[in-house]
Amino acid sequence: MMTHSGQPDPEEVRRLNRTDRRREKIRQQVSQARHGRQIIPTWLMAAILGLILAGWLYLIITK
């Protein structure tokens, strides 16, 4: 949006700056998540979850 003087509306500029900052923050978070040090591998977490669910189902079925 332009004002009568041909300059961009300050509110519009502020909103765009906020959007750009938010996008950059999200990019940084994604980058950190991709390159972060994982203590427990994903396959191991999935295996543990599977064992917990299997044990839970076993308790329900045999009760």
pLDDT for the residue numbered 54: 98
What pLDDT does residue 4 have? Answer: 58
CB 30 within 8 Å of CB 19? no
Please report which confidence band the pLDDT of residue 19 belongs to, taking 50, 70 and 90 as the band edges. Answer: confident
What's the rounded Cα separation, in Å, for the pair 21 and 27?
10
Mean pLDDT of 24-41: 82
Dihedral sign computed on CA atoms, order 37, 40, 44, 50: negative
3-state secondary structure (DSSP) of residue 8: strand
Quote the Cα angle for 43-50-44, to 5°: 20
Average pLDDT over residues 23-29: 89
